[in-house]
Amino acid sequence: MNLALLLHRQALAMPNAAAVFCGRQQISTHAQWASRSWTLAKHFRAAGLEPGDRVALFMRNHVRYLDIVLGAWWAGLVVVPINAKLHPLEAEWIIQNAQARWVFITADVMGQGDLSSGPAVFKGINRQIDVDSSESDDLWSAAESSWSPPLHRQPEDLAWLFYTSGTTGRPKGVMLTHHNLRTMGLGYFIDVDPVSPRDRIVYAAPMSHGNGLYAIPHLMAGAVHVVPASGGFQAEELFELGWELGPLSLFAAPTIVNRLVAYARQHALTKDDCARAFKTIVYGGAPMYVADIQRALDVMGPRFVQIYGQGETPMTGTVLSRQHLMDTSHPRHLERLASIGVAQTPVEVRIADPEGADVAAGEMGELLVRGDSVMAGYWRDTQATAAAIREGWLWTGDMGCADADGFITLRDRSKDLIISGGSNIYPREVEEVLLKHPAVAEVAVVGAPDAEWGEAVVAFVVKSLTRSEEPNGDDETTQALLDTWCRSQIARFKRPKRYIFVDELPKNAYGKVLKRNLRERLDISDQRS
């Protein structure tokens, strides 16, 4: 079943119901949304795009994001969402790897970093469209008042090709099918939040991530979709939108949750005030400290649900429900607050040893997930697919343990992943960029606890005495050089927030850098300060 049928059905059943807002301004009803998506699908077909071809979106949050996604699905195409925080050179690699035919952009994302070595127009595509341009207006201005049903798609056909950060310096394309995403949407109603046509989902987090997929369950229910006028997160804007349009639902990384709570406290808002603004706040994407979720519940009330998932099983892994969070009488309530909850309905989860055998309750192992939400594999990477999915089980790379009641607590990440502000950062990618600079002989990147962002990127650097084409300056000068270098090569959010210059990196007998020692050094240093 083509996911665009969800919009087609709502447009027939409730054509005049409000569907999409930009801030307080209504942009379209369900019928108007369907008309624009159908018209765009016709343009795709007229341009020669065939079912299964890829269309990329390198955009900040924008009301036309939803039109493009549904229009692409309507024509049987595959959507390739690209993180708007990426450097254009990184985005171009994804576009070329996905073999995308068209790419939609917002001009602001193309202005990131030094583009002297990168194109203003992406290579290897048929058409690049700025969604705020007159060229884009032409694609939507002739929207028709009637439409034909979406192109039929098989359950195993691709719908969403999401590029997740890679441990080898290049991201991997996660292949998600129409069936994967339909399963995810249906599970949302059971495990996360019941949705009705009265609900409003607001896209404050990047739509290029899992946040964009929240459109699916809310489209299933005929709810309203709201893109903030700012295009992102502003606490005051979200509270005011909720009070005017009706209580909002949203996905929020822990950083956003903490900022909403801080705003509520600063303005002495009551729980009733918060309830008028927000129905449900789903948090995840990074660790949430127990003290932070306790504070959020005390200030804003029972608005929260935690989910755990990955790009490889989007939004669908475990859930810590509203009821779990509010069950303060339970003898292990604090332990549960520190957990990621229990398995969601569509999947099985278990903790396994390296050979795949179950470990006993309380013992450490790797979290495995199996179910209809798990990806079809990695795009053009059979080796990585075989390593990630074994006998139907997705090996997540996250280490943790399960208690006797099935609540899972994550303890560590086997892949050294850094999660900062809800964004995934792999140290190897940052290390490879830094090692290209002549001032760097060796480098190791780790994550350090950060009260605001969850984790901050820290680079331990051994300066080069022979590779540098310029005399090595003091640490402050070198740090400025490396920061400028990173801005020209990778997304801003991946840049180290801190540099520590050392004479050598700690290594084992095999020459492997002992990152645990570096993290311990950070802990000791922070305690002393």
Place of tokens 């309830």: 275
Lookup: tokens for 247: 């209580």
pLDDT for the residue 441: 86
Distance in angstroms between the alpha carbons of the first and the last residue of the chain: 58
Q: Mark whether 362 and 441 lie in a shared domain.
A: no
Whose CA is closest to 187, among 343, 11, 302, 369?
Answer: 343
Confidence category of residue 254, pLDDT binned at 50, 70, 90 = confident
Q: Is residue 351 part of a domain?
A: yes
The DSSP code for 113 is: S
pLDDT for the residue 512: 67
pLDDT for the residue 134: 84
Q: Mark whether 197 and 305 lie in a shared domain.
A: yes
The pLDDT tens digits for 17-48 are: 999 999 999 999 999 999 999 999 999 999 99
Overall average pLDDT of the 256-260 stretch:
92
Lookup: tokens for 302: 């029972």
* pTM of this structure: 0.84
C-alpha distances in Å from residue 487, one per residue of 120, 440, 455, 484, 497: 17, 16, 19, 5, 12
Lookup: tokens for 52: 């299964």
Chain centroid offset of residue 29 CA: 27
> Is the predicted pLDDT of residue 114 greater than 90, yes or no?
no
In 212-364, at which residue ranges do the beta strands (DSSP E only) sit? 224-227, 248-252, 278-283, 304-310, 313-320, 342-343, 347-352
> Is the predicted pLDDT of residue 452 greater than 50, yes or no?
yes
The DSSP code for 358 is: B
Q: Is residue 24 part of a domain?
A: no
Q: Is residue 507 part of a domain?
A: yes
pLDDT for the residue 508: 62
pLDDT for the residue 463: 92
> Is the predicted pLDDT of residue 528 greater than 60, yes or no?
no
Helix axes 63-74, 134-141, angle to 10 degrees: 50
Q: Mark whether 304 and 227 lie in a shared domain.
A: yes
* 47-61, 309-323, 503-517, range with the lowest pLDDT: 503-517
Q: Is residue 164 part of a domain?
A: no
CA distance 197 to 200: 8
pLDDT for the residue 526: 59
CA distance 249 to 307: 14
Using an 8 Å Cβ cutoff, are 274 and 262 in contact?
no
Annotate 374-386 with b (16+ C-beta within 10 A) or e (fewer). bbbbbbebeebbe
pLDDT for the residue 343: 98
> Is the predicted pLDDT of residue 168 greater than 50, yes or no?
no
Confidence category of residue 116, pLDDT binned at 50, 70, 90 = low
Confidence category of residue 509, pLDDT binned at 50, 70, 90 = very low
Overall average pLDDT of the 124-147 stretch:
83
The pLDDT tens digits for 391-428 are: 999 999 988 899 999 999 987 566 677 888 888 787 87
Lookup: tokens for 256: 């956003």
Using an 8 Å Cβ cutoff, are 205 and 226 in contact?
no
The pLDDT tens digits for 64-76 are: 999 999 999 999 9
pLDDT for the residue 163: 95
Domains identified in the chain, total number: 3
pLDDT for the residue 217: 98
Q: Is residue 160 part of a domain?
A: no
Q: Mark whether 242 and 271 lie in a shared domain.
A: yes
Q: Domain containing 439: what range?
A: 418-528
Q: Is residue 179 part of a domain?
A: no
